[in-house]
Amino acid sequence: MKKVTVYITLKAGVLDPQGKAIQESLTALGYEGVTDTRVGKVIELNMEDGPDLEVRIKDMCNKLLANPVMEDYRFEVEEAVQA
Amino acid sequence: MKKVTVYITLKAGVLDPQGKAIQESLTALGYEGVTDTRVGKVIELNMEDGPDLEVRIKDMCNKLLANPVMEDYRFEVEEAVQA
């Protein structure tokens, strides 16, 4: 088993109202000098290993996990820790 | 300016219905062998540097960005790229 971590972020130029709300809240709480706040997602999953692992991950990202029109993704693969 | 990336994930043991939905959708799409799907957030922000930078980040996470009861967070600090 492999542990796969997928990071999904909005493409540059896409408006991020959630990030803007966080930034305004931080300023309201007194944290000055915070800019360019963007919010994305992390998806962690365990997958069976195989020679086509990276192909399967990219396929899953394009079909379900990310919206390729508005979002970029990158992923890391590491050995899953046995529970 | 520093670029700060905060990763927020649910603590182990906390139910993750969004992760479960993603896992079931992946199985329905034919991706077998996907388990332990968990969803978290990534928050990227630019902050002014200073000796208390890490303290400020932890403070922001505990007060606004993460829910310390249910979520864990970790962060990375790197040099901000000038736009």
Residue pLDDT, tens place only, B31-75: 998 999 999 999 999 999 999 999 999 999 999 999 999 999 999
Residue A83: pLDDT band (50, 70, 90) is: low
Q: Phi first, then psi: what are they for A20, rounded to 5°? A: -65, -40
SS3 sequence, B18-66? HHHHHHHHHHHCCCCCEEEEEEEEEEEEEECCCCCHHHHHHHHHHHHHC
Among B22, B3, B16, B64, CA closest to A26:
B64
Task: Report the mean per-residue pLDDT for chain A.
Answer: 94
Residue B81: pLDDT band (50, 70, 90) is: confident
The pLDDT value recorded for residue A81 is: 80
Q: CA B80, CA B46: separation in Å to the nearest integer?
A: 7
Mean pLDDT of B21-40: 95
Respond yes or no on whether ipTM tops 0.90.
Answer: no
Distance, in angstroms, between B23 CA and closest chain A CA? 8
Domain ranges of chain B: 2-79
Residues contacting A12, CB < 8 A, separation 6+: none
Chain B residues whose CB is inside 8 A of the A25 CB are 64
Instruction: Choose the closest CB to B42 out of A1, A9, A25.
Output: A9
Mean pLDDT of A24-45: 95
Yes or no, beta carbons of B48 and A33 under 8 Å apart: yes
| pLDDT digits 0-9 by tens, A48-80 | 999 999 999 999 999 999 999 999 999 999 998
CATH 3.40.30.10 applies to domain B2-79: no
Has residue B82 got a pLDDT over 80? no
